Structure 1
Amino acid sequence: MASCSAKCMLYEKLYKAEHFLAAYHQEAAEFLEDIQLLLTELCGFLSSGDVKGDTLINYGGCEILGFLFPACRFFKEIILAEFLESRLQAARTWINKEPGAFDWSLAAKYVCELEGNREIGIEKEESMRGKIKMLIKCEANEDHPVAPKLPTQVDCILSTTFLEFMCTDVDGFRKALKDMSSLVKIGGHLMLVLALGCTFMMCGTYKLPVLCLDEECVKAALTDVGCVIKESKNNKRVNQTKYSHIDYDSVFCLVACKEKNVQ
């Protein structure tokens, strides 16, 4: 991910997790319907019971803890691997129930409803807090930014709206995806949520660059790293307002199985 280091430095300087969460994930946010649709898709991917195991790594975007609620009951432990200190701090604040922590209760309640009310929202939140075992700060200028610090051959990696934010170009995206998949064991899974057709997003007063990806590029990159897509859904943007805030066209959700190692 060396090609991503300059972009990571820009995000490290300008990106504030609290601004991002307030704009895109709070209950009153205009993107609430889009977020609920993503949670529905993730719950659907996991409902078969095929995607499960001991360890799940949340790779980047770790302040968006709401997307972990569908996965937490299928894994014994969760590791958060992150490149931005602001995101790590947002996660720590929620895990430790500190003042100013983002309120994820709406997402927890929504996921419980999708799962058939097996547990109430507060139970879901406490269950996930108990399963998060490690928070790791990664460096984008290393050839393999996560591998030296995290266990390899884990059962699953979840990455939500991260690669397109951190990667500078398609070659960098392919390299980052290869690094990510190298941590997953044969037969394990990658779950990705990617904003497609996006070139920028606003975070507070700052306009930050986003790598513009399309569905075919993502599919080709997954094939190249030895993965086969099992399920996918490319959802057109529900909220058509605020294109001055972020300009994505759709959100591509997928679960892919790793079938072979690629050198």
Structure 2
Amino acid sequence: MACSTHKHYPVHGYDSRQHLECYFSERPKNIFIDDILIFPIECLTKIFKEGRIKGDVLIDLSAGSLVHHLYSACEFFKHIIVLKVRDRCIMELKRWLDSRTGAFNWGHATKHHVEIEEKSAQVEEKEKKVREAAQHIVKCHPGKENMTDPIVLPPADCVVSVLLLDKSSKDQDDYIRYLKKISKLLKPGGHLILIGCLEMTYYTVGKDKFHAFTYDEEFVRKALAGEGFIIDDFQTKERTNVSDLIDYKSVMFIATHKRE
């Protein structure tokens, strides 16, 4: 199938619950957990524990209704502002934040976090901290110069973005435009953490195939340097599963800071 015939996340969206169940759930046949959930959790826990990335405001700009990447952050930031492109993603996320019946179960991610932190008795406390910190959810319009127009956000100490650039960018120019907009959300010297998939061309949610922007390590390093970001940590994990639902070759974790 040609890329031009694939659906595009910012335009068409996808079923948020199907996306979570397929790639992030604890179901026995989920072959993506090690790559897409556990690897980022371990990288995030390590980078935050180093103590360099902390402050008042963290902005989360991620695809879907993801939560797992916020567990470490809630220990180091007073306020987490979550930006979402699709209304359906906002509804799914709010269901979990409000502890409603039928919310997606992130218990396996919580358990993995507290085990890494060697605080196994604090599972409920960890989820409570995330819910308390992530009370601000704002609709995001990636095509606008101010993505949260008419709302003007306070400058962030850190932005975390999981898979949004991969799923929203049509080409290299588009990716760099997103980086410029993300840079404007940060204070001078602020941190940007990117989690994405290298050399991915498509992913599947339900019966639909979606376009993914294809890039390699060299491209993302140059793009970040071109926008004034200094890379502090760059980790990759080679794909460990076999599936035609998605075709990435490796998962990347990048921690950067903005040149002052």
Q: TM-score, normalised by structure 2?
A: 0.92
Contact (CA 8 Å) 1:7, 1:166: kept in 2 or not? yes
- 2:40 alignment partner, one of 19, 32, 38: 38
Aligned AA (2:51): G
Per-residue CA distance 1:180-211 (angstroms, 9 max, x = gap): 01111112100110111101111011011111
Q: CA deviation at 1:127?
A: 0.7
CA contact (8 A) 1:62 1:81 kept: no
CA distance change for structure 1 residues 222 and 146 in 2, over 3 Å: closer, same or farther? farther
Residues 1:145 and 2:147 aligned together: yes
In the alignment, does 2:211 pair up with 1:248?
A: no
Query: Which amino acid in 2 is paired with 1:31?
Result: F
Taking a change above 3 Å as real, the CA distance of residues 70 and 238 of structure 1, as seen in their structure-2 partners, is farther
Aligned-residue offset at 1:60:
2.5
- Within 5 Å, which residues of 2 pair with 1:1-263? 7-12=8-13, 15-28=14-27, 29-34=30-35, 35-61=37-63, 63-117=65-119, 120-146=122-148, 148-239=150-241, 241-242=242-243, 244-260=244-260
Unaligned regions of 5+ residues in structure 1, if any?
1-5
- Size of the aligned set, in residue pairs, is 251
CA contact (8 A) 1:232 1:254 kept: yes
Question: Which stretch of the first structure deviates more once superposed, 251-260 or 114-123?
Answer: 114-123
TM-score by length of 1: 0.91
RMSD: 1.6
Distance 1:9 1:191, change over 3 A: closer
What letter matches 1:64 in structure 2? L
Contact kept? 2:201, 2:248, Cα under 8 Å:
yes
Contact persistence 1:17–1:87 (CA under 8 A)? yes
Q: Which amino acid aligns with 1:181?
A: S
Q: Secondary structure at the match of 1:190?
A: strand
User: The residue matched to 1:27 in structure 2 has which SS?
Assistant: coil
Q: Indicate the percent of aligned positions where both proteins have the same amino acid.
A: 29
Q: Assess if the C-alpha contact under 8 Å between 2:56 and 2:77 holds in 1.
A: yes
Counterparts of 2:216 and 2:154, CA distance in 1: 29
